[in-house]
Amino acid sequence: MVVAIAVLFAGCIVDFGIGTGGRDAQPLDGAAQDSALPDGALPDGGPVDAAPPDAGSPDAGQMDAAVTCGDGVLDVNEQCDDGVNNSDTAPNACRNNCRLPWCGDGVVDTNEACDDGVANSNVTPDACRTTCVLPGCGDSIEDSGEQCDDGNTVNSDACRNTCQNATCGDSVVWIGQEQCDDGNTTSGDGCSSTCSEENLPELRWLTTTAAGWSTPWVITYAGEPYAPTTSIRAAVAIEPEGRVILFTQTTYHVLRIPQLTWYDSGTLAADFDALPSAGPHAGYGLAGTGTSSSISLMSGHIAYLYDYTHIGGNVTFVQTDDINGISGWQTATAPDPTQLVSMYLDLSNDHGWVNDTLVTACGSGVGDVVGYSVSLTSSLLHLLEIGNCFDFYDQMSYSAFAPFASSVSGRPALSEIRGTFYYDTTDTLYVVTQQ
Is residue 120 domain-resident? no
Q: What is the pLDDT of residue 243?
A: 95
Contact 183, 172 (CB under 8 A): no
Please identify every stretch of the chain with a pLDDT value under 50, giving residue numbers as ranges. 1-65
In a domain, 181, yes or no: no
Question: Residues 227-231: contacts with CB within 8 Å, 24+ apart?
Answer: 227/188, 227/253, 227/262, 227/265, 228/201, 228/253, 228/265, 229/188, 231/201, 231/418, 231/434
For the stretch 159-183, pLDDT in tens is 999 999 999 999 999 999 999 999 9
Here the CATH number for the domain that contains residue 338 is 2.110.10.10
Is residue 392 included in any domain, yes or no?
A: yes
Residue 227's pLDDT is: 98
Residues above pLDDT 90, as percent of the chain = 82
Tell whether 174 is covered by a domain. no
The reported pLDDT for the residue numbered 290 is 84
For residue 207, the model assigns a pLDDT of 96
| 335 within domain boundaries | yes
Number of domains in the chain: 1
What's the predicted TM-score (pTM) here?
0.72
The tens digit of pLDDT for each residue in 266-318 reads 999 999 999 999 999 999 999 987 899 999 999 999 999 999 999 888 999 99
Instruction: For 261-347, list the strands marked E by DSSP.
Output: 262-267, 282-286, 292-299, 302-309, 315-322, 342-346
Domain range holding 257? 199-435
Q: Considering the domain boundaries, does residue 277 fall inside one?
A: yes
Residue 288 lies in a domain: yes
pLDDT of residue 49: 35
Q: What is the pLDDT of residue 53?
A: 35
pLDDT value, residue 7: 32
The pLDDT value recorded for residue 182 is: 96
In a domain? residue 5:
no
